Amino acid sequence: MHKSKSLSILFIVAVFFSASAFAKIGDLYIDGDIANKNNNDGYLLTADDFNKLKKSHIKTTTSWTEPGHVVDFEGVKFKDLLTLVGAHGKTLRMRALNDYWVDIPFSDVEQYDILLANKMDGNPLKVRDFGPYFVIYPLDEFYDKLNSPTYQARHIWQVDSITVIDK
């Protein structure tokens, strides 16, 4: 009984001291099948670190923004993020602050050059408006291919972690 109680306490302590437990809103934790790690079994990218990375833009309309308004999303291309962490998987499991998750195949990164946006029309994304990070596809450019429930579901917002999966 005593050993079981000690293990339970140890588990609880480990959970509280995990990287994601100390992450702040705006920090991005990437783990899974990655070669470059800076925080236990993953890579913790602070909001400041993210802002220092090379920025790119996708200008597009979405189902979640003002109808007909072309929005200028700014952020980091997934290709650059995956290179930074040395990702070697086939799938990206994107998780949101509310524990919603969706899998995005690596082929989308190559085919559509998707973006992890942290700004919309020059303004930082806040949690109440899709932040801290929002997965953006170039919908207008590939409308015939991307206008489907499958791709709409991959536009996950409030992203706070990514797990690289080898399947």
Q: Which two tokens stand for residue 124?
A: 């930082």
The domain limits of the chain are: 28-165
Out of 1-10, 59-68, 87-96, least confident range: 1-10
Say how far residue 89 (Cα) sits from the centre of its chain. 15
Cis peptide upstream of residue 105 (ω within 30 degrees of 0): no
pLDDT in the model for residue 143: 95
Q: How many CB atoms lie within 10 A of CB 50?
A: 19
Domain 28-165 in this protein, CATH class: alpha beta
pLDDT band of 24, cuts 50, 70, 90: confident
pLDDT 10s digits, 123-164 = 999 998 899 999 999 999 999 999 999 999 999 999 999 999
- 3-class secondary-structure state, position 1: coil
Instruction: Give the separation between CA 122 and CA 72, rounded to whole angstroms.
Output: 7
Closest to 116 measured CA to CA, from 151, 58, 77: 77
Rg of the chain (C-alpha set): 17
Mean local confidence (pLDDT), 92-121: 97
Task: Name the range with the highest mean pLDDT among 12-16, 24-28, 115-119.
Answer: 115-119
pLDDT band of 2, cuts 50, 70, 90: low
Torsional class of 130: left (φ above 0), alpha (ψ -120 to 50), beta (otherwise): left
Looking at the DSSP bridge assignments, the partners of residue 39 are 42
pLDDT in the model for residue 115: 98
**CA-based torsion, 72, 147, 64, 84: positive or negative:** negative
Give the DSSP letter string of 90-156. Answer: SEEEEEETTS-EEEEEHHHHHHH--EEEEEETTEEPPGGGT-S-EEE--TTTTHHHH-SHHHHHT--
